[in-house]
Structure 1
C-alpha cells in the first residue's frame, strides 16, 4: 500500500528506509505536483492515528496529510484551516498526485508517525511532549521508506 503524504516539492527519488531523526522535510513553494510518498507494507487500516510536527506561515486552508491506496484514493485527508483548526476530511484528489495548488503545504514537517489504531489522549500528550510513545507499526520517522517527487528538501530539523 502506498501512502501519500501530500506536501509540497527534489527530483523524484526512491530510497531504502532512512532514519530521519533530527531531520525535516521543507516544502519551499506552492505546487500541484510535488509531494512525498510514504510507503508501508501494512494493508489493513480500519483505524489510524497520525502524529506529526509542522510549521508554516500559511494563512489559508492547506493540506497536511493524505492517505491513499490504489483501490481507494479517497481514504483520509487532514487539512488545516486558516484559523488553525484541523479539518478531518475523507477525500482527496487522486492516488498519484493531482493535488490542488492553492491547498498545498509550504513550510517544514517532521516526526511523521502512523499507527493502525486510535491513540488514547495520554499517548497523544506523550508524543506532544516528546516523551516515549507506543512503538510505531505503520509509518516510523526513524525508519521511513519514502519517495520524493519534484522539490522537497531534507534538512536538519529546526529546534528552539
Structure 2
C-alpha cells in the first residue's frame, strides 16, 4: 500500500512540475513572440486547443491568443475581439466564429476551443464550462507546413506583426490535439488532475520552442 501511495505522490509531483512554465509578455510589442514546434504537422480535420491565459489588455483592442499561419494564409487564429468576445478563424481573417463569453482578465482563465470538420461544430470552454456550440467551417481542413506562434499575429509568414494586436499577459499550459476531447477530459485539464490528457500536436510538458524579443520565461512558483 505504501508503494502505491508513493507512486501516486510521485505522479502528482511530476504533473505539478511539468506544467509550471509560464511565458510572460510584459508590454505591447511588434517583435516579442514564441515560436512553437509541434510534435506532428497541423494537417487537421478536427482539433482541441487549450491554454491558461491572463491578460492586462482592456478596452477597444483586439488581441491575438494563438496563431498558425502557412505561406499562403492565416490557417487557424484565436482572438479576443475588440468587444471582448472570443473567436476562431480558419483560413480567413474576415469570417470567423465569435462567442460571447466571460471576459479575460488578469486572473488566469482556462480556455479551450474545439472544432471538427464533418459537422463544423465549434465550441469554446471557459474554466470547464461549455459554450453554446456554433457551426463553422464545415468541410474545411487545416493545412500543414505552417508556423505556430503565440504573442503576435503574422500578416505574412513569421512577419507583418502589429504592436496594436500583440498579446500582453501570461500564457501557460498550452496543449493541442488532432481530435475533439470529451467534456470529462477538458474538466480534468481545468482541474489539473494528475491523469489529465496531454496534447499530441502541442504538449506543454515536453514543448519545443524558440523565444524572440521581450518574452520572460518564468515558473509559477516564482514571485
* TM-score scaled by length of structure 1: 0.77
> 1:157 and 1:82 mapped to 2: Cα distance?
29
Equivalent position to 1:130, from 189, 192, 204:
192
Name the counterpart of 1:102: 164
SS of structure 1 residue aligned to 2:87: strand
Name the counterpart of 1:144: 207
For the aligned residue pairs, the C-alpha RMSD in angstroms reads 2.2
Residues 1:76 and 2:138 aligned together: no
Cα deviation code 1:53-74 (max 9, x no counterpart): 010121132110011234x441
Comparing both chains, which one has the higher relative contact order based on Cα–Cα distances under 8 Å and sequence gaps of 6 or more?
1
Cα distance, 1:20 vs structure 2: 5.5
Name the counterpart of 2:27: 29
Alignment of 1:147-158 (within 5 A): 147-157=210-220
Structure 2 unaligned blocks of 5 or more: 1-16, 94-153
> 1:55 and 1:68 mapped to 2: Cα distance?
23
Structure 1 unaligned blocks of 5 or more: 1-18
> 2:162 and 2:183 mapped to 1: Cα distance?
32
* TM-score scaled by length of structure 2: 0.57
Give the helix-richer structure, 1 or 2: 2
Name the counterpart of 2:63: 62
Between structure 1 and structure 2, the one with the greater Rg is 2
